[in-house]
Structure 1
Amino acid sequence: MELTGKQKRYLRASANRMRPIFEIGKNGLSKIWLEEVVKALDTRELIKINILQNAAVTTDDVQGFIEGNSDITVVQKLGKTLVLFKQSANKDNRDLSSNVFSI
């Protein structure tokens, strides 16, 4: 999904005080890890993930893996932290996405 600059700015501002809830370590990326991220995004719509120092992947690798295997949008890469967005399939959890798509 392609977001405009204003929508990305709104999402970055919303994620400013969030703490990362997922980490990528030395085991790297897997389909199981991605499934858990999708489940979390289905509930929250916006999350942060962190890449640990001992990870063998870069932020570009993670972004390519996520965008290539799912419909998740990487909103921001900042150091070793990524902000991810995906509209929830559950209409009750769409508070954030309704604000984003009204911009």
Structure 2
Amino acid sequence: MYTVNAEQLKQMKTRAHELKPVIMIGQAGLTEAVLKEIELALDTHELIKVKIRAERDDKKLIQQQICSDTKAELIQSIGQISVIYRKKTEQAPKKPAPHTRRRDGTH
């Protein structure tokens, strides 16, 4: 897991201020489908807001599970809003599709 220093934490809180929650967790709780959406959002944005509608103790458990399952870090939690960060992984460039020959022998 990536650990953020104090300066990075401050910058992320500033960046997060402008963000809208991209994931909402309601009475169904943290499901596999919601975790997949969180993974996609983190892959795309690195820094996301998640709105968790749950009791305080349940909210803390959900935050911990999100962070452990996605290998992310909780940056900030205010009320129902949690700010979560995961550094983007460097992905290898995709290989171009191999050339195929048409039936007439041309490319």
Q: TM-score range by the shorter chain?
A: 0.7 to 0.9
Q: Following superposition of structure 1 onto structure 2, how do residues 1-103 of structure 1 map, counting pairs within 5 Å?
A: 1-52=2-53, 55=54, 58-90=58-90
Gapped runs of 5+ residues in structure 1?
92-103
TM-score (norm 2): 0.74
Deviations along 1:12-67, one digit per CA (max 9) or x if unpaired, are 00010111111000100122211211111111111101023xx4663311221112
Looking at secondary structure, tell me which structure has more helix per residue: 1
Higher relative contact order (CA 8 A, sep 6+): 1
Structure 1: which amino acid aligns with 2:75?
Answer: V
Question: How many matched pairs?
Answer: 89
Moved over 4 A (4+): none
8 Å Cα contact 2:22-2:41 kept in structure 1 = no
Gapped runs of 5+ residues in structure 2?
92-107
Greater radius of gyration (CA): 2
8 Å Cα contact 2:49-2:82 kept in structure 1 = yes
8 Å Cα contact 2:75-2:85 kept in structure 1 = yes
TM-score (norm 1): 0.76
Q: CA RMSD in A?
A: 1.7
User: Once the two structures are aligned, what percentage of the paired residues are identical?
Assistant: 27
